[in-house]
Structures are given as C-alpha cells and as structure tokens.
Amino acid sequence: MLLWHGSRTSNFYNILSQGLRIAPPEVPSTGFMFGKGIYFADVASKSGNYCYPAKGKCALLMLSEVALGTPQILRDANYSADKLEQGKNSTLGLGKFRPSEGNFMTMKDKVRIPLGPLEDHSGDGTQYSLLYNEYVVYDVAQVKSRYLVEVKFDM
C-alpha cells in the first residue's frame, strides 16, 4: 500500500541516505503507541503532524510502498504490538475516520492507493482511540520509499 510518513525536515538527510529505520537514536521518540516500528498513515495530515513545521514554512512528507502482509488490527494502544501475533506481519491501528474500502486504486504492480473522502465510523458503536489509521511495520525490508513531497501547512 502507498502510505505517508512524516518526520522533521532535519531528519530527511538521514532518511534519504540510510532509509527509514526503526527507532533511530538521533530522532526524538513520539511514544511508540504500537511498539517500536516504522509508522505510516493513509491520511497526509496525520503524517503531517510529525513534521512539526513552523507556521508558513514548508515540510517534507514521504510516500512509501509498504508491504503490510496480514496486519493485526488494534483499536487501542499496545506498546508491545511489535511482538506480532502468529501469522501477522504488521499492525493497523484503526481510526475513527478512514478511507472507504471501495475507495482504493490499484496500480499495475498491485500497489494499493487509498483515496478520499474519509468515512466517519463513530456511529458504529466501537470506541476508537485514534482519529485516523496508523500502520506500523517492524522490518525495514517491508518499506520501499518512493516519493518525497514538499508541503506547506497553513496554521
């Protein structure tokens, strides 16, 4: 799946030269809600929160092909989610707002791209601790960085 990854602009030199890494020591931790892994989102603004841009300044987002395999689906924090259930390859932290299953485009190479608008699942009787989906992989071999996108957030 083609997913967004956000990080401070100052981190992208290392990301571009060494690839995305799991819990690099030089990068401040944001909590590891689903264990130590590489975090992605299907909503650009969710990943944009991790860019910490200054008002009116540009930030960078990365679009990566992420091989999710069969994800374990969680609705609440699990700080040891990186100890995957048997047969699972990643974690999907399910958000209240997410792309409709029918709103994906599949490329020739089978990469799926989530499209908008988002569906609101707040009326389905389930409690969600996340507003938007978070995808986490625990093996750098599951990630192929494809595009670096410069964005400007109006705050």
Which residues lie below 8 Å from residue 86, measured CB to CB, with a gap of 6+?
none
Residue pair 60/9 in contact (Cβ under 8 Å)? The answer is: yes
Query: What is d(CA 75, CA 84) in angstroms, rounded to the nearest whole number?
Result: 15
Q: In what order do the strands lie in the sheet with 130-132?
A: 118-120, 95-99, 130-132
Nearest residue to 46 (alpha-carbon basis) of 93, 10, 86: 93
**Catalytic member of 101, 119, 134, 150:** 134
Structure tokens at 30: 């944001």
**134 belongs to the catalytic site:** yes
Which residues lie below 8 Å from residue 69, measured CB to CB, with a gap of 6+?
88, 89, 90, 142
Residue pair 45/116 in contact (Cβ under 8 Å)? The answer is: no
What are the residue numbers of the active site? 134
